[in-house]
Structure 1
Amino acid sequence: MTRAVTLTDIHAARERIANKVVRTPTVLSHSLSERFGVPVHLKLEHRQTTGSFKLRGASNAVASLSAEQKARGVVAASTGNHGRALAYAAKLEGMRAVICMSRLVPQNKLDEIRRLGADVRIVGNSQDEAQQEVERLVAQEGLVMLPPFDHADIIAGQGTLGLEMIEQVPDAALVLAQLSGGGLASGIAAAVKGVSPRTKVIGVSMARGAAMKASLDAGRPVEIEELPTLADSLGGGIGIDNRLTFAMCRDLLDDVVLLSEDEIAAGIRHAYEQEREIVEGAGAVGIAALLAGKVGVNGPVVILLSGRNIDMNTHRKIICSDAIAEPAA
């Protein structure tokens, strides 16, 4: 069985990417702190260079490649943010990058990946279908696959966020982290619990197509239908042959909570109206979980704002509306 990512791995990743990513600030939310009666801090990772946390894992994975692997180029399936981060990291190294995505990925994310010089392939209606094209390119063209979550170097890179969170808020009682394929949540949990074992880490996802939650409930990786959602970055399966993140999330997360589309929209609105921050649906789920009463608080909270790469027309509609209809399947 593949070894889980450790605190030592995460510290090594931090040294490797120190000059490639921004150490983002953590700030106190006065509005949420007053509302819930405990200090609530926001980790502003949406201000990262490519607009999301994904640059950490991508940068660590690319930096860990051999010269021969770099010469071959890299390929990945993505719901958008991993592709953008990998395209950016590859461009800095002068490497070829191919990003495979489904038709559900928003146009603004496709445009940005193309702007960074990557070759974009649109395949099918799910990340699992896009992954089939990735595997073809690996077999036929020799590209190196760097998946968005189930990879030790990716997980360790995302885990550097957990180190920063617990250093910036040493007395944190609860950390709320986005949960999709589990690379982010498992990396953060490994870092946070490695430093502060009593701190709880809760994964937050959308109710529409939460693959990791369905897999944890089943006790094994399962496939579920990928559905349109405001939290589009959290879409996609975890892989039936998942090697790392399923077990790490099972062993390290204290709970998983799911949110409706209206609850996610409320999180986006709060971030904008009260915190003056523009975040995408996935970036807002931690705030949304707190506002919806899905998590109990009894001490300092750290909420990750994971990304800002939202289509601005969509953002405008959410801000100007009191309700969001459930997207059509």
Structure 2
Amino acid sequence: MLSVDDVLAARDRVAETARHTPLDYSHTFSSMTGADVHLKLELFQRTGAFKIRGATNRIATLSEAERAAGVVTASAGNHAQGVALAATRAGVDSKIVMPEHAPISKVKATRNYGGEVVLAGQDYDEAAERAHEIEREEDRTYIHAFDDETVMAGQGTVGLEIYEDLPGVETVVVPIGGGGLISGIATALKGKDPEIRVVGVQAEGAASVPESLERGERVVRDEVRTIADGIATRTVGEKTFEIIEERVDEVVTVDDSEIAVALTTLLERSKIMVEGAGAVALAAVLEERFDYAEDETIVPALCGGNIDLNTLTNVIVRGLVETGRYIKIRTVLTDHPGALEHLVSVLSAQEVNIYAIEHDRTSRDVAMDDAEVELDLETRGPDHVEAVLAALREEGYPVEVLV
């Protein structure tokens, strides 16, 4: 099984390519949680995610024949970029299979790093099937995104950096997709100090590990649905599951709403932009998904910052909705002069900012002398939302909350 010595050896191989990323004390999140929170800013890594570490370590171990034949892999995006850049820097040809609906920004970045992109399948697992076909057809070496000890060892260098930069660390919180990152980090940390707690986090829509641990065998989900596309796998690897069973202390889950809140809070309060997978560790801390003591030294790993701008827009809106900062409502007005003005005056009295109004006289859902109105409103929190809705209903407006 993977050892801390493997991770130490990997550090020497990846040193010229992978950056030693910052570990930043957060006043904001320490104050919010009561813990001593330090953020591992792996989003500042080359390619915007930790995957360059494992890819570089694996490619460094290729034989001359394997280098000449080239490599192939499957990825939702971050591993794709890591393999593309690591292969290009090593002078190795790379072919990357990505799901058909992979974020455009990640597809473009992978191509810019020198990888040939093939789009195939609806998710990572289907993309991996096509990648293995290419492996056989073209005699390329398959670079697994997570279930490879050399890849895990490369990812484990994140854990070495945390331990060396913060010797008093008590708990490290790590996202889990296929399990390569947490396997490497847990191996590094437990090898240095077995008392350090390692907590894994999955998105609820892609959570296979809690049930797998309960059953004592890997569970494969039928589908995955989450905004955290970087960890959207149906199951963990065979090798990574063994390490998770042995070296990870606890695995918890967070839902997409909680991920969105963590992401938007990071953006607003810390000026840090992460992708969904990069926010899950912090979300678990903020939502207290595991027990921790006051002043406990906790490091959430912010593992990636490659978020598609269209996705970012949707996630920000979701985060604002969850925190009571944005609401979309529908109501009905009597269709006569001044009716809309009166509605606006009620909202104005509640100090609501109106983003948009859609006024529809033709809706079949209302009487012929009525009009349907949808409004996008900026609010100041959950209490303000309740006050606004109460004021509207007091004035006789039927109100339906849309988001």
Query: Per the shorter chain, which TM-score range?
Result: over 0.9
Aligned to 2:185: 188
Code of the residue aligned with 1:246 in structure 2: it is F
**Aligned partner (choices 173, 176, 181) of residue 176 of structure 1:** 173
Residue 327 of structure 1 corresponds to none
* 1:225 paired to 2:222: yes
Amino acid at match of 1:323: V
SS of the counterpart of 1:304?
strand
- How far 1:199 sits from its partner (Å)? 1.0
Tell me, what secondary structure is at the counterpart of 1:149? Answer: coil
1:79 aligns with 2:70: no
- Spell out the pairing of 1:47-62 with structure 2 (5 A cutoff): 47-62=44-59
1:248-301 Cα deviation digits (max 9, x unpaired): 011111111111110000110111111110000000111111111212222100
Q: 2:308 aligns with which of 303, 307, 311?
A: 311
2:209–2:251 CA contact under 8 A, matched in 1: no
Following the alignment from structure 1 to structure 2, what is the Cα–Cα distance between the partners of residues 202 and 33? Answer: 18
Give the whole-Å Cα distance in 1 for the aligned partners of 2:289 and 2:219: 24
2: CA distance, partners of 1:217 / 1:86: 34
Aligned to 1:274: 269
The Cα shift of 1:5 comes to 0.8
C-alpha displacement of 1:320: 4.3
* Partner SS, residue 50 of structure 1: helix
Counterpart code for 1:6 = S
Determine if contact 1:180/1:211 at 8 Å carries over to the other structure: no
2:9 maps to what in 1?
12
- Helix, strand or coil for the counterpart of 1:191? helix
2:31 counterpart letter in structure 1: E
- Equivalent position of 1:156 in the other structure: 153
2:130 alignment partner, one of 124, 129, 133? 133
Residue type at the aligned position of 2:292: V
Q: Which residue does 1:246 correspond to in 2?
A: 241
Distance 1:29 1:235, change over 3 A: same
**After the TM superposition, which parts of structure 1 deviate over 4 Å for at least 4 consecutive aligned residues?**
none
SS of the residue aligned with 1:103?
coil
SS in 1 for 2:174: strand
Listed as ranges, the gaps of 5+ residues in structure 2 are 323-403
1:43 to 15, 40, 44: 40
**Using the alignment, how far apart are the partners of 1:282 and 1:89 within structure 2?**
22
Which range moved further: 261-270 or 93-102? 93-102
Task: Give the CA deviation at 1:153.
Answer: 0.7
SS at match of 1:23: coil
Give the match for residue 265 of structure 1. Answer: 260
Distance in 2, Cα, partners of 1:295 & 1:104 = 33
Task: Choose 175-184 or 131-140, whichever is displaced more.
Answer: 131-140
Q: Quick check: 1:181–1:212 contact (8 Å CA) kept in 2?
A: no
Identify which of 284, 296, 301 aligns with 2:279: 284
Matched AA of 2:279: A
Between the aligned partners of 1:122 and 1:218, the Cα distance in structure 2 is 35
More deviation in 113-122 or 88-97? 113-122
**Paired residue secondary structure (2:47):** coil
The answer (yes or no) to whether the contact 1:268–1:279 under 8 Å persists in 2 is yes
> Quick one: distance in 2 between partners of 1:149 and 1:161?
15
Q: 2:24 aligns with which of 14, 24, 27?
A: 27
> Which shows bigger deviation, 117-126 or 75-84?
117-126
Within a 5 Å distance, the mapping from 1:80-159 to structure 2 comes to: 80-159=77-156
Distance 1:113 1:211 in 2: 28
The alpha carbon displacement at 1:323 in A equals: 3.0
AA partner of residue 289 (structure 2): K
Aligned residue in 2 for 1:323: 321
Higher strand share: 2
- Counterpart residue type for residue 277 of structure 1: I
Give the AA of the match of 2:64. Answer: A
Q: Is the 8 A contact 1:181 1:211 kept in 2?
A: no
Match of 1:295 in 2: 290
Normalised by the length of structure 1, the TM-score is 0.93
Match status 1:65 vs 2:70: no
State the AA in 1 paired with 2:247. Answer: L
Higher relative contact order (CA 8 A, sep 6+): 1
Which stretches in structure 1 are left out of the alignment for 5+ residues? 325-329
The 2-side partners of 1:83 and 1:197 are apart by 33
SS, match of residue 321 in structure 2:
coil
Secondary structure at 2:49 match in 1:
coil
Sequence identity, in percent?
Answer: 38
RMSD: 1.6
Cα distance in structure 1, aligned partners of 2:252 and 2:221 = 17
2:377 paired residue number: none
Q: Distance in 1 between matches of 2:182 and 2:290?
A: 16
Structure 1: how far apart are the matches of 2:196 and 2:259? 25
User: C-alpha distance in 2, partners of 1:317/1:238?
Assistant: 26
Asked if the contact 1:104–1:228 (Cα under 8 Å) also holds between the matched residues in 2, the reply is: no
CA-CA distance at 1:53 after TM superposition: 0.5
Aligned partner of 2:208: which letter?
Answer: A
2:67 partner SS: helix
Q: Is the 8 A contact 1:180 1:212 kept in 2?
A: no
